[in-house]
Amino acid sequence: MTCTIIHTTNAPPERAATVIGNRPRRPLPWSVSLLIIDTQGATLQLDARTTTPCTVDDLPAVVGQLIDEAVDDLRATNPELTANYVQWRASARGGSKKNRKGGKRR
């Protein structure tokens, strides 16, 4: 079971997030990729992994913290720059269901 979420800040609200695959039932660690374009057109790509497992509903808050840290690093080099476009992609892969019956039923 794999779930991928792509979120774009400049898209209309109804098209901002795209979920591909099945939403995991339990909290999982997520692999996150950020794409940030500043006002001058320079791009910053960042790949990270969430340290604590989280659900799909908790994921935007966790990724928001990663974006804030990346924008702060961007502003440390040049205080006048701001993020013009932000896109993030998160994917998680959960384990498959195990056979709980223990073999054939008689």
Query: Can you list the domains of the chain with their CATH numbers?
Result: 2-93 (3.30.1490)
36-73 residue pLDDT tens: 888 888 888 889 888 789 988 898 899 989 888 888 88
Question: What is the C-alpha separation between 20 and 18, in angstroms, rounded?
Answer: 6
* Pairing between β-strand 31-38 and β-strand 43-49 as defined by DSSP bridges: antiparallel
The pLDDT score that the predictor gives to residue 99 is 61
Residue 12 confidence class, pLDDT cut points 50, 70, 90: confident
Mean pLDDT along residues 96-106: 61
* Predicted local confidence at residue 105, as pLDDT: 60
Residue 33 has pLDDT above 90, yes or no: yes
Tell me which amino acid residue 6 is.
I
Torsional class of 41: left (φ above 0), alpha (ψ -120 to 50), beta (otherwise)? left
Backbone angles phi, psi at 18, to 5 degrees: -120, 125
pLDDT for the residue numbered 26: 86
> How many whole angstroms separate alpha carbon 69 and alpha carbon 74?
9
Task: Select the more confidently predicted residue: 14 or 105.
Answer: 14
Mean pLDDT of 70-95: 84
Average pLDDT on 84-88 reads: 90
Six-digit token pair at 51?
Answer: 């340290």
pTM, to two decimals: 0.77
